[in-house]
Chain A
Amino acid sequence: MNGLLGPMMVIVWKDLLLELRSKDIVVSIVVFGLLVVVVFNFALNNIPGRSEELAPGILWAAFAFSAILAMNRAFVRDQEQGGLEGLLISPVSRDAIFLGKALTSLIFMLLVEAVLLPVYAVMLDFSALSWYLILTIFLGTLGFAVVGTLFSAMAVQTRSREIMLPVLFFPVLLPVIIAAVEASARAVGGETFIGLGRWLPLIGVFDAIFLVICPWVFSFVVEE
């Protein structure tokens, strides 16, 4: 099993199966995501006229907080029952473990977002039927998943792990959040091409850089 894709898919399938049987991550995050929107709606006084201006911000605040919750769980199950050690002993490259874990987080987040987006579109009154919005969400979530998985692998080992992850995650992910909010505002507002030309590539560049760096440093993080 020296290939990359084979072991990756086995890891993804293992986590998906666990999730399918327990359903504790996706369901709880969807509920949390709905709560965030309710809170922001009142905190920001979202009256009908301002909805288009506020919606992208609320959308990405909710996605970012949901991502934190999902990432916090990414390694907990492995940590609690010694599964991570088993994974590390198995003859699988560290890259495959990292990419498998990141792909699992990406799938979980995209599932959550697929449920939340139509609900948000109704509650916040914007049109979710935009390819640019969907592309933005995909690229932004990819960035969350890649960096989040790395930090999660570190945070799960530390004391006060629930706090450590957001403290590491938010400052580093700030460019993605800024770019995603701006790109979404343009996608939702209909002025599709203005500004998208720089925000989407910014997220793309971020994703590319960290897709190279994170698997590499992950091998140091999990070594004994």
Chain B
Amino acid sequence: MASSQSMERSGGLQFPSLKTVLAVITGVMMLVDLYFIFMVAPTDAVLGHVQRVFYFHVPIAIMSFLAFFVVFIASLMYLFKRSPKWDAFAHASAEVGVIFVTLALITGIIWARPIWNTWWTWEPRLTTTLILWLIYVAYLMVRSYAPTQSKGAIYAAVVGIIGFVDVPIVYYSVVWWRSIHPSPVVGPFAKSDSLDGTMALILLYSFITFVFFFAYMVMERMELRTTEEALGRIRFALRRRGE
């Protein structure tokens, strides 16, 4: 504390915070990513320009699964260690994860309409993603509807653990359900083997960009929560003084 204050007073060079560095890196990478996707990436011979949504869709979808894995680990750590830091980490990852799942569903629908000629199909990955969305929206709901913040943290951790354990079971149940009711829609997933070299590189780059983006969003959200808590304490103190 003392050292940082003296640094501010001396007006010397101060290293920007990790969050600011991440924000700048993410911003630059995002712009380059856009350039790659729309200018460099070759247009798919069969699918046309719609295929470009894949450079967003695939990284976002993978990141959302990773986000919920983070929620799972952070929830376990919170139940064992009871440090608010783990709860803040789980909370931030869950919120960003829900946004990512929502985006994955929307970009998926944009893709599905022209390519599969349907907005939605009850295919295992789509169904599992939808269930993920529902579970983690419930996660956020139970957190905010709980009687106290500490109860909300515990309830959310419980849902974070149960939900993550449940996801593979959901996936397999829908896979088996599908195999019994064959679908007229043929999945495009075999296509990924035939991905052109440039396309694969851009997809990889796009994925790394979204990893940075995710890290930045989570840090921003955690900082926001610290501010929220400080504000809550100030409000509480003011109210007590007013009485």
Contact = CB atoms under 8 A, between A and B. Distances in A.
Interface of A: 147, 150, 154-155, 157-160, 164, 167-168, 170-172, 174-175, 178-179, 182, 195, 198-199, 202, 205-206, 209-210, 213-214, 217, 220-221, 223
B59 to A, nearest CB: 25
Interface string B115-159: 000000000000000010011011001100111000100110111
B77 to A, nearest CB: 13
B180 A182 contact: yes
Interface residues of B, number: 30
7 contacts: A150-B162, A154-B146, A164-B145, A170-B134, A171-B134, A171-B138, A172-B163
A211 to B, nearest CB: 12
B142 A168 contact: yes
B234 to A, nearest CB: 25
B211 interface: no
B166 interface: yes
A107 to B, nearest CB: 23
Contact of B158 (A150, A175, A182): A150
A160 B141 CA distance: 10
Nearest to B131: A171
Contacts of B170: 171, 174-175
Interface in B77-92: 79
B161 interface: yes
B173 A157 contact: no
B166 A172 contact: yes
